[in-house]
Amino acid sequence: MKTRRLNALLLVVFGAGLLLNWTMAPDSRRPNYLFLPDMAYSPAYQAYSENPVFADGKTLRSPVPGTVARGHLPVRYARTPEDALRAGEEMKNPLSATSRQALERGAKGYEIYCAPCHGSSGKGDGKVAQRGFPPPPSLFSEKALAMRDGQIFHIISYGQGNMPPYAAQMSQEDRWQVVLYLRSLQRSGKSQ
């Protein structure tokens, strides 16, 4: 008997729900009922305007410590010769030396950023050096040939001596591609 009463009550509640749904059917000429309007229409603040939500009254917030921008993995080395050597020991080129696409992109990066000083052949006879700036060392010197890929990547990223850093101009992947191209240039022996 109790089960019948419960079923009858549930049927009445279900019918009332259907009736309410039918009577409150969405009408394109009327807006929907809005519950908690702050969720749908939150107040927008300009970046440098005052904001009563925060204790310091600022809208523009600093990133949380340790935040890494999307697509930018941190490289934790200092601009020192010791860290360049450490990078040579710890960092390995993540790209395949047989990737034709990576080598082509590395060649373009080399021509744009490296060739003005190092020259297209890598001998240190680029246009900048021809016009009186101290020439960079040849990429075929004993020291350059002995460098590991991570050390070259560090030098491209942080600069060395008169060479400026290129981390702001090239992504990490592009810098690794330049290292690949530089290694292929050294293997081909184009300086001779």
Mean residue pLDDT across the chain:
87
Tell whether pTM > 0.85. Answer: no
All domains in the chain, ordered by first residue: 82-188 (1.10.760.10)
Q: What distance in Å separates the CA atoms of residue 92 and residue 154, rounded to the nearest whole number?
A: 11
Q: What is the pLDDT of residues 155-183, one digit of tens each?
A: 999 999 889 999 999 999 999 999 999 99
What SS3 state is found at 185?
A: helix
Tokens of residue 180, six digits = 């690949």
What SS3 state is found at 163?
A: strand
Q: What is the pLDDT of residues 10-21, one digit of tens each?
A: 999 999 988 887
Q: What is the pLDDT of residues 48-91, one digit of tens each?
A: 999 998 999 999 988 888 887 776 667 788 889 999 999 999 99
Judge whether residue 28 has pLDDT over 70.
Answer: no
pLDDT at 72: 67
